[in-house]
Amino acid sequence: MTGRDIEHHQARKRFGQNFLVDPHYVAKIVAAIAPRPGDNLVEIGPGLAALTRPLLERAGHLTAIEIDRDLAARLAADFPPDRLALHVADALDFDFSTLGDELRIVGNLPYNISSPLLFHLARYETHLCDLHVMLQKEVVARMTAAPDTPDYGRLTVMLQTRFAVTRLFVVPAGAFRPAPKVESAVARLVPLGAARPAVVDEALLGRVVAAAFGQRRKTLRNAVAGICDARALERAGIDPGARGETLAVADFVRLANGLAAG
């Protein structure tokens, strides 16, 4: 990617476009991914191909999902279809199961849709090998948070029931054009597989977690009153007077499973 590429494409706010341009961080991200020939690599939002080119050099083939039709046309002109399988689509609506198994998903995810996109990707955990995503640093802090800390919340619990989540490194705002107003961070998510806690009813777990964090200052007795009563909390070994942020992921799973069992 050259300065001319940046000059000839106006970043579009509606797509949350901030293009990575610093070669040091491009190399660092590619090294963290460590792509190999034969990997089922999928890049979300390849943009001006800063990551696409070195990923292709290492892996030989890549699937890309790009919502911007102008950028998709550039990609199609620059890379032959036998090397780059291009889908002009919104990743939020894309069915990742159509791409097979052992998916290695990579992306500089738009800040404006980062949480919904993470929830969408989590639905395909059984098809995933790993994810390497760049997000706003504060979002990565929430993804990796421990219980009873300010960053611990709904996103934390729902991701950590499915993935081992690790923050790899911070990427400064100056590594992008246009530069965002915040720092970014790269996170690695690996499906838990056999270590994944057994969840009887995923939708019910989601409701319990959303209620618990809906108003953080409320005790669980009040926060989840529309779903269960204090006795149900006590049966799950949970203090009704506690707040949701103090519960571990395993506590939420145990509570939801108990409710599902009646």
- What would the mean pLDDT of 97-122 be, rounded to a whole number? 94
Query: Over the Cα atoms of the chain, what is R_g?
Result: 20
pLDDT reported for residue 17 = 63
pLDDT above 50 for 13: no
| 3-state SS string for 78-94 | HCCCCCEEEEECCCCCC
What Cα–Cα distance (Å) separates residue 114 from each residue in 35, 39, 46, 109, 184? Answer: 23, 24, 15, 6, 12
- CATH number, domain with residue 117: 3.40.50.150
Contact 86, 61 (CB under 8 A): no
Q: To 5 degrees, how large is the angle CA 19–CA 96–CA 153?
A: 70
Kindly state the average pLDDT of the residues 212-238.
96
> What is the pLDDT of the chain when averaged over all its residues?
93
* Section 138-159 average pLDDT: 97
Check whether residue 126 and residue 178 sit in a common domain. yes
What is the rounded average pLDDT of the residues 17-44? 95
Query: What is the pLDDT averaged over residues 188-215?
Result: 97
Look up the domain containing 79 and give its range: 3-194
Same domain, 67 and 41: yes
Is the pLDDT at 162 greater than 60? The verdict is yes
pLDDT band at 4 (very low <50, low <70, confident <90, very high): very low
Q: 206: which 2 tokens?
A: 């989601």
Domain containing 217 — which CATH number? 1.10.8.100
pLDDT of 18: 83
What is the count of structural domains for the chain? Answer: 2
Mean pLDDT (whole number) for 100-109: 96
| Same domain, residue pair 47 and 110 | yes
Same-domain pairing of 168 and 212: no
Determine contact, residues 131/66, Cβ cutoff 8 Å. Answer: no
Residue that terminates a domain, selected from 178, 194, 210: 194
Residues 85 and 213 in one domain: no
Which pLDDT score, from 0 to 100, does residue 7 have? 44
Q: In the prediction, which pLDDT does 178 show? A: 85
- Model confidence at 92, pLDDT cuts 50, 70, 90, reads very high
Fill in the DSSP letter of residue 120.
H
In this prediction, residues 76-99 reach a mean pLDDT of: 97
Non-local (6+) Cβ contacts of 35 within 8 A are: 41, 55, 58, 59, 104
Same domain (yes/no): 27, 128 = yes
On whether both 54 and 140 belong to a single domain, the answer is yes
Q: How far apart are CA 240 and CA 5, in angstroms?
A: 57
pLDDT at 16 over 60: no
Classify strands 176-177 and 184-191 as parallel, antiparallel or unpaired. unpaired
The gap from C-alpha 24 to its chain's centroid, in whole angstroms, comes to 23
- Within the chain, residue ranges assigned H as helices are 3-7, 23-33, 52-59, 69-78, 114-122, 137-143, 154-160, 202-214, 220-223, 230-235, 249-260
Q: How confident is the model at residue 111 (pLDDT cuts 50, 70, 90)?
A: confident
**Is the domain of 16 the same as that of 142?**
yes
